[in-house]
Amino acid sequence: MIPIRDAIRSKNFPIINSLLIGLNAIAFLWQLSQAPNLEEIFFLFGIVPVRYSDPSLSAQFTAFQQLLPFLTSMFLHGGFLHILGNMWFLYIFGDNIEDRLGHLRYLFFYLLTGIAAGLIHLLTNWNSRIPTIGASGAISGVMGAYLLLYPRARILTLIPIFLFLQFVELPAFIFLGYWFLIQLVSAGLTPSNVGGIAFWAHIGGFVAGFIFVKIFDVIPRAGIDGSLRRFTERHKTPRIHALSPQYLPDELDTYGVITLTPKEAKYGTRKLVSIPQGLRRRTLIVTVPPGIDNGTRLRLKGLGQRDNAGNRGDLFLEVQVLDQGLRLL
């Protein structure tokens, strides 16, 4: 299952989440430039459990060199698909956790869950000689926090069914619960000391994120964090509107709501609207004309319900213009 987007709009631009994605991308480009020495880099900056379990080997490293991989391993990846998958999951789920915790607390939360994931991997693969790299442990922590804070948030998910691809909206507790179950089963079936996916790091990070997010949520925010949030507050409605249209009995027409800022209503805008059609969702572009008033209905012909005779009604979108003083969700 591949998440496409979630339905929760963050109130502030996720500067830390974007910075983390950028740093991972820069580190990956650096890796590509170090191709001849890549194996050495992975052994030096990745987590290699035998470096800690073998006294004769650990004696060759300083305390700093032994601690450093728990941080640096979070920014190294084994290939393009590895970093692409990790960064996509971070992009989908990280912004809402940053929005909830604040920018600085989210940064410390992310790093701490990544370190916890590395420690769990170390303890469950004590004698392994295989270096472990990747941001998935920290990102698993973000996903654990998301499950705790937003269990019923809707996740638009791409599911391959045989030769077909289906878009389905799933509650977060189903999507993330299924993901966590797969990690548990895979960890139990995968022998230690073999390469591949570090499932125990995923599990450790997920559980750590589930626990740490409540701790960080009660820690007072620093003054600099409040200043940053004033600059990062969003002033636009979401680009994508996920609708759950309503309808009256014996009517084919359906009704939904689209929200705009006063600026968008004045100058016009274009929005992506996601409409359920059975288990799938159809996404289309809606052009909102300039000068539109609050309460105006936009008619989308032929996008309502269909009866047994093949007749289809229309979809009416009511425009709601937000007050200037409201914060956007």
- The 10s digit of each residue's pLDDT in 168-205 is 888 999 999 999 999 999 888 776 665 568 888 999 99
252 and 313 housed in the same domain: yes
154: helix, coil or strand? Answer: strand
275 and 166 housed in the same domain: no
183 and 252 housed in the same domain: no
Tell me the pairing of strands 315-321 and 254-260: parallel
221 and 257 housed in the same domain: no
pLDDT of 163 above 80? no
87 and 225 housed in the same domain: yes
Number of domains in the chain: 2
pLDDT of 246 above 60? yes
pLDDT of 99 above 50? yes
Distance CA 285, CA 263 (A): 19
Mean pLDDT of 13-32: 94
201 and 247 housed in the same domain: no
The boundaries of the domain holding residue 314 are 240-321
Distance CA 61, CA 151 (A): 43
Distance CA 23, CA 85 (A): 15
- Strand (E) or helix (H) holding 187: helix 172-189
